[in-house]
């Protein structure tokens, strides 16, 4: 068996302490990480196997890992509520955001969904991220640069009610308070038949969006919510954790059709088999 | 505004009838699709805008769409229970399977997870899929070829207890009855510190796997389950569907560490903050 | 140890076949029960221990049990959607319907909730059940008579918009499409400070009822929903059943206050600790 | 309309502040309630309508209510984890604990379930509550006396492995770590065919109990769990609360049969229709 791969200067790393507290950063010769469990020198983390256990100057244990997309989302510096991993994974799948895709999202917020989209589209794809607030886009930009994905994203500081500058994109996702106001604009930007998605915190917003989707002839509406429940990982006393997240947002999906192609009647759709 | 993109001979299409019944196939000049709502000629579906409404020879309505990954999974020809989209999305995220990744999975089964992995790793990544049964791998192979992803997958007809032929892969996923028997083999194939995942239907299997992970010094164990609830999409009478899937499987995650790097104590981990 | 208690002529019994199919009836000398697994003679079920196994004339197995309230609700003859046991138990508790209570409900429907209320208030309590439809009340009356609880219920064939004939009742429960229209009438019938409850299928109805409760100075609003998940009872392969009920209705609770006693402000209540 | 009913000296009352903080006590002439929102004099609470708004000496608002069973459970003084209302309601229903019933429970704990059982059986029923710990039974005794239900309960300070002193009880409920050890004793105390229930925190305990029930010929096993989700009660921004209780315990039910009456085969039961 060949030797284990070693960390190198410049690598993005995740350092976890023994109680799962995370630190994400790039290795830089000569730098130090300050924690309340002691100081860790970057030089001590460089040129050693991934998955190593290291010690701070106080002798406290840390683990040196390569951050997954999940880690990057969980530990993202933020100034706003972000889309949770339980929703991000399903959204990528449901909106079919994969290598090479061109995708629009709004709003940018702290950039969690932006980062996930940029990660998933790969170097051949691209993300167009809209937000009215320059401060949020600056934060999102820093969050992307930190993980080296900034070149895959174009930030547009603009209101989506003014429309999108792109056409024929493969998917379009809205995390804004009033997505129903932008459906004609969505239709012009998104390739007909391709997936549109939105996340909304309240049921009232769902009703408004569903009515607007019907009025704008978006077909195949779906509404769902995802619950994720964690367990205590004790083999002989296995049980769910005491508490869980009860709500982040409802997910709404639909597809705009080609001009003139009316969607199925509400009656037909009400009888459709759930997916 | 420029013209809408048109379908071309050879395109993979999804044809949905008005009640959401799906047909996935490639456009081939001269071919016909037989449905119980009438015959649809491929020639009538070619060279027209995506998102178009078309009619069968009986005048029944169909919609011409580009299949999303979600569609491909939902409508996959299968001979076994497959991983559900609600789990697939979270698994891709949690295992950090994105463009360029090298990933191992077992067992292949009908190839749903194989397809999702192949889709997510893009042309630069690769999937190694293990299964003892040649018939399942043949089915999975057909399912991949149907969507043009077969070149991204290497099928290995072998028992995972004999070990994996690859090393330093970025992620490893097991959907087999006894994953606990293969943890030493997992450790040899997976890059230290990188994500290992498994799906298991029963709580008894979780207990066994957790104990084996502890014995094999896999760190940072997590167990969770995902519930997905759909709503009736009637704006003025919005409510969940009457019934839902209550269980497909539990997800278990962990990371093998570098040789000699012992994981956090069970006591420390029991007190760790849930992610 | 003394002998086991024996069944007697006139007893209400539950007969379950080996696959849990239920038959509820009173033992009557000379009668026979016809099932697709054979005929069972009442005489063979009388004077034997509760919990006995008996056989039909075809040799098929049945079990002789005393029906619980849960059984009576599950197997109630019905012509309408009934409140499910998972909600009934919580409603009885939340509305504090116990021995001696005087309770109003509307609508009667098939009488499932009526039966549960009559059962819980005991011989010293009483239930007033309103419904416009005489056919439903006739069915509910038969369902109550079948289990001997008819003397605890007064049926009122009337619209609740015309008001209730009782005052100072201990609890009031509405299972009607438009409960918001009857809040002034509820206030006149229900002792101030006592629990009001409603069940509603859609989120839109909740919003309307909450607004009406605010306008009618009902204090301490609460909205919740209950999910009940069953498991396969195989000790070594323990797991949830594949499917479950995803929705029956949302429960809404509040308390009308004494005349002139304004409720807490919406701001205070929004910050209140959940119970 | 007649006058509203008035509170009287000796009444059990619930005083809620504007943010839902509760105080439960009996009105006693001359007494005072000290709160961090000021002092409330019992005399000011006596002889006024139920549902009144009153003020502390600091002018802070309080509401004078009659406590429901739900309130009594929520606000019970406790030294141990108690059964939650979401489980209590379902247990009463599922175990068919109503007016006149004779019921056994173990362990007593802080007396929450004891209180609910005593409340539900009414003056004609009785509860036998077992616990090894005298301190817990003393606490439970005080909790029952506080609400005037102490005469309905007999406390037995004993281990249930030594058996129960009662026979032919109508229902039996265990909230103890090892219920599987007491099944023969349960069989001797519980009327054949009547409901047995248990609550257990871990899945491992369920497996053990299910196997023991099979060995002891307890029929009709069921395992379930209840999730209760609350909503923010804002009509125009209706949505679930952010967090919820993810787990308290699993509920297990079964019925011991008459001596010699073997239960359905595991195969038959595995195919039985869920209730």
Strand partners, A126: A102
CB distance A164 to A130 below 8 Å: yes
* Closest by CA position to B202, among listed C242, C108, C84, D156: C242
- Computed on alpha carbons and rounded to an integer, the radius of gyration of chain A in Å comes to 22
Contacts of D267 in chain C (CB under 8 A): none
| pLDDT at residue number C1 | 41
Q: How far A135 CA lies from chain D's nearest CA (Å)? A: 26
| pLDDT at residue number D18 | 84
CB distance D87 to D199 below 8 Å: yes
Q: How far D69 CA lies from chain A's nearest CA (Å)? A: 24
Helix (H) / strand (E) containing C38: strand C38-41
- Do the strands B126-131 and B153-157 form a parallel or antiparallel pair, or are they unpaired? parallel
> A touches which chains (3+ CB pairs under 8 A)?
B, C, D
* Closest by CA position to B157, among listed B138, B184, B180, B174: B138
Residues B204-227 pLDDT 10s: 999 999 999 999 989 999 999 999
* Closest by CA position to B14, among listed D272, A194, D173: A194
| pLDDT at residue number A275 | 54
Instruction: Print pLDDT tens along chain D (275 aa).
Output: 456 789 999 999 999 988 888 999 999 999 999 999 999 999 999 999 999 999 999 999 999 999 999 999 999 999 989 999 999 999 999 999 999 999 999 999 999 999 999 999 999 999 999 999 999 999 999 999 999 999 999 999 999 999 999 999 999 999 999 999 999 999 999 999 999 999 999 999 999 999 999 999 899 999 999 999 999 999 999 999 999 999 999 999 999 999 888 888 777 777 776 55
Size of interface C-D (CB pairs under 8 A): 311
Residue range(s) occupied by CATH 3.10.330.20 in chain A: 12-67
| pLDDT at residue number B20 | 84
Size of interface B-C (CB pairs under 8 A): 56
Which tokens go with C151?
């003397």
Instruction: Give the Cα-Cα-Cα angle B99, B101, B104 (nearest 5 degrees).
Output: 135
Residues B11-21 pLDDT 10s: 999 999 888 88
Strands (E), B94-184: 102-106, 126-131, 153-157, 171-174
Which tokens go with D225?
């769990």
* Closest by CA position to B220, among listed B245, B246, B188, B193: B193
Helix (H) / strand (E) containing C256: strand C250-256
What gap in Å lies between CA C185 and CA B138, rounded to an integer? 69
Q: What percent of chain D has pLDDT over 70?
A: 97
What gap in Å lies between CA B116 and CA B171, rounded to an integer? 14
DSSP secondary-structure letter at C235?
A: G
Helix (H) / strand (E) containing A52: none
Strands (E), chain D: 12-17, 22-26, 32-35, 38-41, 53-55, 61-65, 102-106, 126-131, 153-157, 171-174, 196-200, 218-232, 239-240, 243-245, 250-256
**Residue, of B5 and C134, whose pLDDT is higher:** C134
What gap in Å lies between CA A19 and CA D184, rounded to an integer? 44
User: Could you give the 3-state DSSP secondary structure of residue A129?
Assistant: strand
Size of interface A-D (CB pairs under 8 A): 56
Residue C3 has pLDDT above 80, yes or no: no
Residue range(s) occupied by CATH 3.40.50.150 in chain D: 71-259
* Closest by CA position to C269, among listed C255, C249, C259, C258: C255
DSSP secondary-structure letter at B32?
A: E
B202 touches chain D (CB under 8 A): no
D201 touches chain A (CB under 8 A): yes
What gap in Å lies between CA D238 and CA A169, rounded to an integer? 33
B89 touches chain C (CB under 8 A): no
Residue range(s) occupied by CATH 3.40.50.150 in chain A: 71-270
A71-270 topology per CATH: Rossmann fold (3.40.50)
> B touches which chains (3+ CB pairs under 8 A)?
A, C, D
Among D239, D241, D242, D251, pick the best mutation site for testing chain A contact (most A Cβ within 10 A).
Answer: D239
Q: pLDDT averaged over chain B?
A: 94
CB distance C40 to C83 below 8 Å: no
For helices A112-121 and A134-147, give the axis angle rounded to 10 degrees.
40
Across the interface, do B241 and C244 touch by the CB < 8 Å criterion? no
Contacts of A237 in chain D (CB under 8 A): 201-202, 204
Predicted confidence band at C251 (pLDDT cuts at 50, 70, 90)? very high
Sheet holding B53-55, edge to edge: B22-26, B12-17, B61-65, B53-55
What gap in Å lies between CA D169 and CA B253, rounded to an integer? 47
Contacts of C120 in chain D (CB under 8 A): 98-99, 120
CB distance D97 to D123 below 8 Å: no
Strand partners, C127: C103, C153
Q: Which residue of B has its CA nearest to C177?
A: B237
Which tokens go with C57?
């004339």
B145 touches chain A (CB under 8 A): no
What gap in Å lies between CA B100 and CA B259, rounded to an integer? 26
Residues B25-84 pLDDT 10s: 999 999 999 999 999 999 999 999 999 999 999 999 999 999 999 999 999 999 988 999
Contacts of A207 in chain C (CB under 8 A): 203-204
Q: How far C132 CA lies from chain B's nearest CA (Å)? A: 23
Residues of chain A below pLDDT 70: 1-3, 273-275
CB distance B52 to B62 below 8 Å: no
CB distance D32 to D43 below 8 Å: no
Contacts of residue D138, defined as CB under 8 A and 6 or more positions apart, other chains included, come to none
What residue has token string 């005491």?
A: A242
| pLDDT at residue number A235 | 96
Residue B250 has pLDDT above 90, yes or no: yes
Contacts of D246 in chain A (CB under 8 A): 229-230, 240-244
CA atoms within 13 A on the CB side of B200: 22
What gap in Å lies between CA D94 and CA D254, rounded to an integer? 10
DSSP per position, A246-259: --S-EEEEEEEPST
How buried is residue C90: exposed, middle or buried, by Cβ count under 10 Å (0-12/13-18/19+)? buried
| pLDDT at residue number D1 | 41
Contacts of A81 in chain D (CB under 8 A): none
A245 touches chain B (CB under 8 A): no
Contacts of residue C3, defined as CB under 8 A and 6 or more positions apart, other chains included, come to none
Among A193, A216, A229, pick the best mutation site for testing chain B contact (most B Cβ within 10 A).
Answer: A193
Predicted confidence band at C266 (pLDDT cuts at 50, 70, 90)? confident
| pLDDT at residue number B1 | 41
Q: What kind of architecture, by CATH, is found in domain D71-259?
A: 3-Layer(aba) Sandwich (3.40)
CB distance C249 to B212 below 8 Å: no
What gap in Å lies between CA A216 and CA A39, rounded to an integer? 58
How buried is residue C74: exposed, middle or buried, by Cβ count under 10 Å (0-12/13-18/19+)? middle
Helix (H) / strand (E) containing B81: none
CB distance B247 to C239 below 8 Å: yes
Residue B158 has pLDDT above 90, yes or no: yes
Q: What percent of chain C has pLDDT over 70?
A: 97
The domain A12-67 having CATH identifier 3.10.330.20: the answer here is: yes
* Closest by CA position to B153, among listed B113, B98, B96: B113
- Do the strands D239-240 and D243-245 form a parallel or antiparallel pair, or are they unpaired? unpaired
What gap in Å lies between CA D83 and CA D67, rounded to an integer? 18
What gap in Å lies between CA D197 and CA D252, rounded to an integer? 6
Helix (H) / strand (E) containing C69: helix C69-74
Q: What is the ipTM of this complex?
A: 0.95
DSSP secondary-structure letter at D109?
A: T
| pLDDT at residue number D16 | 92
Q: pLDDT averaged over chain C?
A: 94
**What is the value of pTM for the model shown?**
0.96
């Amino acid at each position: 068996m060949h030797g284990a791969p070693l960390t190198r200067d410049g690598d993005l790393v995740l350092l976890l302490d023994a109680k799962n507290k995370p630190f994400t950063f790039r290795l830089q010769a000569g730098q130090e990480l300050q924690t309340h469990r002691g100081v860790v020198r970057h030089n001590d983390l460089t040129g050693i196997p991934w998955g190593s256990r290291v010690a701070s100057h106080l002798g406290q244990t840390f683990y040196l890992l390569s951050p997954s997309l999940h880690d990057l989302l969980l530990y993202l510096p933020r100034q706003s509520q972000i889309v949770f991993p339980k929703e991000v994974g399903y959204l990528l799948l449901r909106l079919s955001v994969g290598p090479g895709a061109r995708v629009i999202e709004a709003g940018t917020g702290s950039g969690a969904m932006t980062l996930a989209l940029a990660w998933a589209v790969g170097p051949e794809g691209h993300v167009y991220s809209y937000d009215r607030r320059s401060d949020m886009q600056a934060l999102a930009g820093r969050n992307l640069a930190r993980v080296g994905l900034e070149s895959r994203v174009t930030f547009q500081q603009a209101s989506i009610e003014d429309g999108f500058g792109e056409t024929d994109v493969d998917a379009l996702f809205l995390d804004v308070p009033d997505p129903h106001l932008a459906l004609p604009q969505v239709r012009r930007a998104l390739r007909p038949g391709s997936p549109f998605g939105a996340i909304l915190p309240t049921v009232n917003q769902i009703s408004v969006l569903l009515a607007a989707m019907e009025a704008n002839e978006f077909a195949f509406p779906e509404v769902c919510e995802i619950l994720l429940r964690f367990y205590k990982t004790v083999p002989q006393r296995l049980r769910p954790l005491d508490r869980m997240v009860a709500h982040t947002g409802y997910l709404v999906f639909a597809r705009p059709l080609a001009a003139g192609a009316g969607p199925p009647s509400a009656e037909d759709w009400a009888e459709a088999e759930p997916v």
